[in-house]
Structure 1
Amino acid sequence: MTVAAILSGKGHETITARSDALLSEICETLAKHKIGAVVVCNGDNQIEGIISERDIVRVIGTQGPSALQLPVSGIMTKNVVTATEENNINEVMARMTQGRFRHMPVVKDGKLTGVISIGDVVKFKIAQVELEAEQMRSYITMA
């Protein structure tokens, strides 16, 4: 199975921000949309970075509450690991686990087309295992 299968169920909606947004604005966006990360894009929907709850906690932990007035450009992860819709789910899960991150933007032709989380991947894998188990039960019952 591929990333496209996850996005077909979840959708391609993405929440983005500009690199000049203040960290406080990113916090409001995360809370409003109940998400764990925001992809930072330029006007052409090309990825410039990603900022997660973890990033925010780290900077506030080291710099204090005044960090909320900093632009996201100085805090975000700039070397973003991305996926394409053609990537295998097992490969994506391994990359997320190895890199110790929970959100992966999906790109096509260099532009953001979606975001998947480790939760999306796990949910899809569980559904896949349950379907296979049900098919096995049906096969055994029919034999």
Structure 2
Amino acid sequence: MYVETILKDKGHNVVSIPADATLKQAADLLGEKRIGAIVVADKNGLAGILSERDIVRAVSKFGKDALGKPVSETMTRNVITCAPSDTVDHLMGVMTGGRFRHVPVLDKGEMIGLVSIGDVVKYKIAETEMEAEQLKIYIATG
């Protein structure tokens, strides 16, 4: 199974915010959209990614003053991305190894989606269930 399979079902919508937005604005958008990470975009495209964890770290470090700081001070700049042709198994390994939960999907340098670890787990479970069902059929008819 490939990342493009996830995007076909999930869609290609990516919620983004400018780097000069405040952490409060980002937190409000995360809450409103009920998501765990937001892409930080600039005129060149992907500038970074901001997760709930990033906001928690900033609040821990700066207290309530963190919410007035620009997203650019807290976001992850070196974003790991994937391609639609990457396998879900590969992506799961990358996410688990890097201990992050969201990966932007790039196709020829253009961002076409965002995949979460929840998306990956959902598809791995579906794949495992399908394989189990095929084994049952094989055993029953074998």
**Could you say which TM-score interval applies, normalised by the shorter chain?**
over 0.9
1:59-98 equivalences in 2 (<5 Å) = 59-98=58-97
1:142 paired with 2:132, answer no
With normalisation by structure 1, the TM-score equals: 0.96
Moved over 3 A (4+): none
1:132 aligned partner: 131
One-letter amino acid matched to 1:41? A
RMSD between aligned residues = 0.9
Deviation at 1:43, TM superposition (A): 3.7
Partner-residue secondary structure (3-state), 1:64: helix
SS in 2 for 1:114: strand
Taking the aligned partners of 1:71 and 1:109, their CA distance within structure 2 comes to 29
Distance 1:110 1:73 in 2: 21
Structure 1: unaligned runs, 5 residues or longer: none
> Which residue identity is paired with 2:61?
T
**Residues 32-111 of structure 1: pairs in structure 2 closer than 5 A:** 32-43=32-43, 46-111=45-110
SS of 1:20 mapped into structure 2: coil
Listed one character per residue, the Cα deviations across residues 93-120 of structure 1 (whole Å, up to 9, x for unaligned) are 1111111100000011222110001110
Tell me, in whole angstroms, the C-alpha distance in 1 between the residues paired with 2:107 and 2:2. Answer: 14
SS of residue matched to 2:83: coil
For structure 2, the 5+ residue unaligned runs are none
1:29 matched to 2:29? The reply is: yes
Matched letter for residue 54 of structure 2:
D
